[in-house]
Amino acid sequence: MEKSRVLVIGGTGHIGKHIVAASVRLGHPTSILTREFALSDPVKRQLLNSWVTSGASLLKGDLFDHKSLVKAIKCADVVISAVGPRQVAEQTRIIAAIKEAGNVNRFVPSEFGSDVDRLHTVDPAASLYAVKAKLRRLIEAEGIPHTFVSCNCFAETYLPSIGDVTAIGAGPPASKITVLANGDAKAVFVVEDDIATYTMMAVDDARTLNKILYVRPPANVVSHNELISMWEKKTSRTLQKVHVPEEEILKWIKDISLKPC
């Protein structure tokens, strides 16, 4: 069966680069919407050049340039948005362009986290999830063929610190580790390459049309305590757990949300 033509918006971002790689690897004619700014960034330029070498195409365009967006979308059967949190609300522009182009068989908006219709949280996360939920309703109301991807936690983000959310990017702890509450709450950690592969396998699958794709391997559902235990067994070292009570966690979140961007 002929593979769908894929356009990735936000292809140089954290999950976007994995989606582009998976799309090319699985044989989809793949294009990346590219701004002039990206080409002036040496790291992004190197990444984009590597994709061109592997067979992908670069389409000049911008999320805020409706004409260029429509033109790029007309070259694709599938549009995948991987824009970051600051541009999530701007996906209304993609939806408008898809409606005008009139040729898209599947739209995958930028979610790639928890199922926004089935969670309870507090700000600032609650506001972001509310925006994503509104986008779902708009996509449905406009009759755009879609697949929503719920993949929970990015492994590359959370696992290097062994699940310590206060030390993301710092690597494994040497002796102490921060544990939220009692550490027994379960979470789902999925490697980004796997998320991207499942996403690309879904875009031509009739079973995922207008559905939510849950990427939730049973073996990947673990608590923080279980993660720590696995690391301790692997390293033959015992970590000192510093537990943070729920009240303190909520205070942290409130303090962070009050800080200026």
CATH label of the domain that carries residue 216: 3.40.50.720
pLDDT at 28: 98
The pLDDT-based confidence of 256 (bands split at 50, 70, 90) is low
Domain annotation covers residue 15? yes
In 142-191, alpha helices (H): 155-158
Which amino acid, residue 259? Answer: K
Domain annotation covers residue 231? yes
Whole-number Å distance between alpha carbons of 98 and 13? 21
The total of structural domains in the chain comes to 1
Average pLDDT, the chain: 93
Q: Is 60 part of the annotated catalytic residue set? A: no
Instruction: With residue 255 as reference, give the H or E element that holds it.
Output: helix 246-258
Q: What DSSP letter does each residue of 183-210 carry, written as one string?
A: S--EEEEE-HHHHHHHHHHHTT-GGGTT
Domain annotation covers residue 142? yes
Domain annotation covers residue 136? yes
CA dihedral 114, 115, 121, 122 (to 10 degrees): 80
Whole-number Å distance between alpha carbons of 107 and 78? 6
Query: What burial class does residue 196 get, using C-beta atoms within 10 Å of its C-beta: 0-12 exposed, 13-18 middle, 19+ buried?
Result: buried
Question: Is the pTM of the predicted complex or chain greater than 0.85?
Answer: yes
The pLDDT-based confidence of 121 (bands split at 50, 70, 90) is confident
Whole-number Å distance between alpha carbons of 261 and 259? 6
Instruction: Give backbone dihedrals phi and psi of 246, rounded to 5 degrees, phi first.
Output: -55, -40
pLDDT at 1: 72
Query: For the packed helices 16-25 and 42-54, what is the interaxial angle rounded to 10 degrees?
Result: 10
The pLDDT-based confidence of 261 (bands split at 50, 70, 90) is very low
**Edge-to-edge strand list for the sheet holding 186-190:** 153-154, 186-190, 221-223
Instruction: With residue 110 as reference, give the H or E element that holds it.
Output: none
Q: In which residue are the tokens 């492994």 written?
A: 155
Q: Of the residues 99, 132, 234, 241, which is catalytic? A: 132
Q: In which residue are the tokens 């070259």 written?
A: 75
Host domain of residue 198: 6-258
Q: Each residue of 17-43: pLDDT tens digit?
A: 999 999 999 999 999 999 876 667 888
Q: Which of 37-41, 81-85, 113-117, 256-260 has the highest mean pLDDT?
A: 81-85
Domain annotation covers residue 1? no
CA atoms within 13 A of residue 29's CA, in its CB half-sphere: 9
Whole-number Å distance between alpha carbons of 261 and 87? 14
